[in-house]
């Protein structure tokens, strides 16, 4: 009986922790969503501009749009800094590993988030950048560093493709691991913008385009980080919510067992007294 | 003067959105003034000061590289970062300048080209902010 009582108490205190984590995650989630909203206008303006430039000339090409046979790839993988978020970390890492299954050489990796750093460090990967503890307070400067490293590697021919792995925030309950190809820039193209050669580019469309690409990639990485962070909080909130529910269930079950045992003990005692009295 | 719409966007949010009738920014090929009904125009911006006239008065600020895009009905500036002259933290800018100078010297001694480039960029930004601060009202 004492054991049962002790278990009820320990489950109770675990429940308090999971409940607190749930609340923390939901407030962090709200903040992350706000941040994602703030960065959106800048990002959208960049996207329109890039597509307008790309559609302004027929024979448009720069180093960033150049499609080469893919020999080596660079993966930028965004995961969390902490566990206890259901499948959040393992899903995105699995997606990244599955994506290069057919490659002759493992891709180079830039890992964002402690869990991603730990994962790729232990395995046979060339880790060219690691950014633990970035997501909670993501700064534009950090994303710019990552974007610069990626674009430099691409234009130097060290890698032929750059892919970003992040977790898309669909809703507080649903988060999906996703990948987007950052380089070479494709899919931004003719027909997207309204422009038809009337805009004056100073000094030239190519120069302006090449100036925007690193910034655009920076924005994509930042959006990816912010969105992944929101997903992480969403996943953790859900995980903690069900943990709290489970704790409630366990406490109810244990209390039932405890009460039964107590009842049984009392009945036994009465029986003993009664049979003792009868014997007299 | 005829007013037109201006939006200044940074990765941290919308910095300015409103009406103006005159903008001057520093592009990679020199200073450029924009008035209403300018032809469609796109240019890369370098680290520099900018001014916009709002309600008949010029406001000054500092910008670190970006893009300006002029359309028939509105102008958009995409800036890496942007500050009004009055909002600049002078102490921080001065400290950043000193740090950048020190770093620049170290990297030059070590023959680290990449480091020199980064330090130079930071130094330029700090100097730009200090100069912009002097233009405050």
Residues B8 and B41 reside in one and the same domain:
yes
* CATH number of residue B31's parent domain: 2.60.15.10
Average pLDDT for residues B98-105, to the nearest whole number?
A: 90
**Whole-Å CA distances, A272 to A1, A279, A280:** 19, 10, 13
Residues B50 and B109 reside in one and the same domain:
no
Question: For A47-76, how does the pLDDT look when each residue is reduced to its tens digit (9 = 90+)?
Answer: 888 777 776 665 667 788 788 888 888 999
| pTM metric for this prediction | 0.78
Q: Decide which of 2.40.50.140, 3.20.20.70, 2.40.10.10, 3.40.1380.10 is the CATH code for A23-238.
A: 3.40.1380.10
B11:A219 CB<8 A: yes
Res A188: pLDDT:
57
Query: Would you place residue A203 in the very low, low, confident or very high pLDDT band (cuts 50, 70, 90)?
Result: confident
What does the radius of gyration of chain A's CA atoms come to, in whole angstroms? 28
Residues B18 and B74 reside in one and the same domain:
yes
Residues B77 and B10 reside in one and the same domain:
yes
Residues of B in contact with A226 (CB under 8 A): none
Average pLDDT for residues B65-86, to the nearest whole number?
A: 89
- In chain A, which residue's Cα lies nearest the Cα of B69? A49
CA atoms of B72 and B92, how far apart (whole Å):
39
- In chain B, which residue's Cα lies nearest the Cα of A222? B11
Average pLDDT for residues A228-253, to the nearest whole number?
A: 91
**Whole-Å CA distances, B65 to A47, A254, B43, B71, B125:** 18, 64, 11, 20, 9
Nearest residue to B126 via CA among B108, B102, B99, B104: B99
SS3 B77: strand
Question: Where exactly are the structural domains of chain A?
Answer: 2-19+240-279, 23-238
Residue with more model confidence, A9 or A104: A9
pLDDT of residue A193 exceeding 60, the answer is no
Res A59: pLDDT:
60
Please, what is the average pLDDT of chain A? Answer: 84
Residues B68 and B95 reside in one and the same domain:
no
Question: For A210-230, how does the pLDDT look when each residue is reduced to its tens digit (9 = 90+)?
Answer: 888 888 888 888 888 888 888
Length of chain A: 280
Residues B14 and B64 reside in one and the same domain:
yes
The total number of structural domains that make up chain B:
2
For an interface test with B, which of A38, A40, A42, A142 has the most B Cβ atoms less than 10 Å from its Cβ? A42
Q: By the 8 A CB rule, do B80 and B11 touch? A: yes
Res A252: pLDDT:
94
Question: For A119-130, how does the pLDDT look when each residue is reduced to its tens digit (9 = 90+)?
Answer: 998 888 888 888
Residues B50 and B105 reside in one and the same domain:
no
Residue with more model confidence, A272 or B114: A272
Nearest residue to A89 via CA among A231, A227, A222: A231
Residues of B in contact with A203 (CB under 8 A): 28-29, 43-44
| Nearest-CA distance B50 → chain A (Å) | 18
What six digits make up the tokens of A118? 């730990």
Nearest residue to A249 via CA among A87, A12, A69: A12
A200:B11 CB<8 A: no
Res A197: pLDDT:
57
Question: For A103-153, how does the pLDDT look when each residue is reduced to its tens digit (9 = 90+)?
Answer: 778 889 999 989 999 999 888 888 888 888 887 777 778 888 888 889 888
Res A189: pLDDT:
52
Instruction: Look at A129-143, A238-252, A254-268 and tell me which has the smallest mean pLDDT.
Output: A129-143
Q: Structural domain of residue B70, as residue ranges?
A: 4-86
Res A32: pLDDT:
84
Of A46, A199, A222, the CB nearest to B42: A199
Res A273: pLDDT:
92
ipTM value, please give it.
0.77
Q: Hey, is the C-beta of B40 within 8 angstroms of any chain A C-beta?
A: yes
Question: For B34-62, how does the pLDDT look when each residue is reduced to its tens digit (9 = 90+)?
Answer: 998 888 888 889 899 999 999 888 999 99
Instruction: Look at A138-147, A152-161, B3-12, B77-86 and tell me which has the smallest mean pLDDT.
Output: A138-147
Res A174: pLDDT:
84
- Does the domain at A2-19+240-279 match CATH 1.10.287.80? Answer given as yes
């Amino acid at each position: 009986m004492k054991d049962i009582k002790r278990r009820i108490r320990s489950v109770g205190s675990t429940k308090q922790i999971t409940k607190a984590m749930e609340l923390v995650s939901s407030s962090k989630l709200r903040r992350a969503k706000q941040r994602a909203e703030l960065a959106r206008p800048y990002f959208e303006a960049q996207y329109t501009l890039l597509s307008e430039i790309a559609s302004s000339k027929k024979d448009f090409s720069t180093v960033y749009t150049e499609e080469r046979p893919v020999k080596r790839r660079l993966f930028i993988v965004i995961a969390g800094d902490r566990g206890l978020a259901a499948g959040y970390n393992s899903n995105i890492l699995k997606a990244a590993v599955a994506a290069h299954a057919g490659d002759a050489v493992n891709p180079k990796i830039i890992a964002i988030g402690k869990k991603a750093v730990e994962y790729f460090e232990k395995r046979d990967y060339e880790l060219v950048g690691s950014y633990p503890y970035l997501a909670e307070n993501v700064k534009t400067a950090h994303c710019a560093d990552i974007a610069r490293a990626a674009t430099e590697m691409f234009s130097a021919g060290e890698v032929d493709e750059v892919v970003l792995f992040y977790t898309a925030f669909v809703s507080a309950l649903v988060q999906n691991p996703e990948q987007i190809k950052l380089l070479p820039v494709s899919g931004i193209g003719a027909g997207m913008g309204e422009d038809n050669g009337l805009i004056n580019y100073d000094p030239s469309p190519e120069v302006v385009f090449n100036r925007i690409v690193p910034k655009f990639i920076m924005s994509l990485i930042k959006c990816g980080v912010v969105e992944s962070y929101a997903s992480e909080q969403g996943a953790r909130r859900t995980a903690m919510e069900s943990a709290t529910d489970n704790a409630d269930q366990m406490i109810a079950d244990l209390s039932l067992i405890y009460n039964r045992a107590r009842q049984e003990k009392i009945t036994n005692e009465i029986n003993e007294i009664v049979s003792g009295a009868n014997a007299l | 003067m005829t007013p037109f719409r201006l939006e200044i966007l940074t990765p941290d949010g919308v910095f300015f959105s409103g009406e103006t009738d005159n903008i001057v920014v520093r592009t990679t090929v020199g200073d450029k003034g924009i008035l209403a009904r300018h032809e469609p125009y796109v240019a890369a911006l370098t680290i520099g000061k900018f001014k916009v006239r709002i309600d008949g008065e010029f406001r000054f600020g500092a910008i670190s590289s970006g893009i300006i895009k002029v359309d028939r009905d509105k102008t958009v500036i995409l800036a890496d970062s942007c500050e009004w002259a009055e909002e600049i933290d002078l102490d921080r800018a001065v400290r950043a300048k000193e740090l950048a100078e020190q770093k620049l010297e170290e990297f030059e001694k070590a023959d680290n080209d990449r480091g020199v480039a980064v330090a130079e960029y930071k130094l330029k930004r700090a100097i730009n902010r200090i100069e912009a601060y002097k233009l405050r009202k």
